[in-house]
Amino acid sequence: MTGSYLVREAGATYNRLVWARPDGSYETYDKRHLFRMAGEHRHVAAGARKLIVELHGWRICPLVCYDLRFPVWSRNRIGTAEEYDILLYVANWPAPRRRAWKTLLEARAIENLCYCAGVNRVGSDARDNEYAGDSAVHDWLGNLLTEPVTGEAMITAVLERAPLEAYRARFPAHLDADVFRIES
């Protein structure tokens, strides 16, 4: 189970994703990119490290909301400790920017040669911002494996390792990726 919430720790507030396992253990990721347009950067501290978790043999990189707009941070480094099979975004992405949400989820899947899942809230918040959901799963070609859902729902997608690995072998674009280092 995963999701994010605001947490205060050591005098700072973080938008923290918690990855909880059935055995009660958990790991955390603090959102790296803070949404300036809502003033998040004035009240919340940015995280400094990515999280890669393993579940049933799948390597998953969970990120939070606005991180979707930053492809360098999301980069899949195939063949390293930062390699993943699934990129997962949990979000509060508002309905007026839903085209960006849909487009960027598809782009992250294609450029990272991975499955990409986006789980977005629905309804409205205390400021009357509307959220359309549009939760979806894409394969490494950007194909939708689920129909985007605009209301409350549970969606299911079947993920297959063999076709993903076969595609990476036939189209190893990751071998031509730029080498870089992210500095705070």
55-64 average pLDDT score: 97
| Residue 184 in this model has a pLDDT that exceeds 80 | no
> Phi/psi class of residue 113: alpha, beta or left (left: φ > 0; alpha: ψ in -120 to 50)?
left
Give the pLDDT confidence of 128-137 residue by residue, as tens digits.
999 999 999 9
Looking at the chain, the whole-number percentage of residues with pLDDT higher than 70 is 100
| Residue 147 in this model has a pLDDT that exceeds 90 | no
**Contact criterion met (CB below 8 Å) for 174 and 138:** no
Q: What is the pLDDT of residue 158?
A: 96
Q: What is the pLDDT of residue 178?
A: 87
Give the pLDDT confidence of 98-142 residue by residue, as tens digits.
999 999 999 999 999 999 999 999 999 999 999 999 999 999 999
Q: What is the pLDDT of residue 70?
A: 97
Q: What is the pLDDT of residue 148?
A: 73
**Cα–Cα distance measured from residue 68 to residue 28, given in angstroms and rounded to the nearest whole number:** 18
pTM, whole model, 2 decimals? 0.94
For 89, residues 6+ apart whose C-beta sits below 8 A from its C-beta are: 62, 63, 64, 65, 67, 68, 105, 108, 116, 117, 118, 119
Could you tell me the domains of the chain? Answer: 2-176 (3.60.110.10)
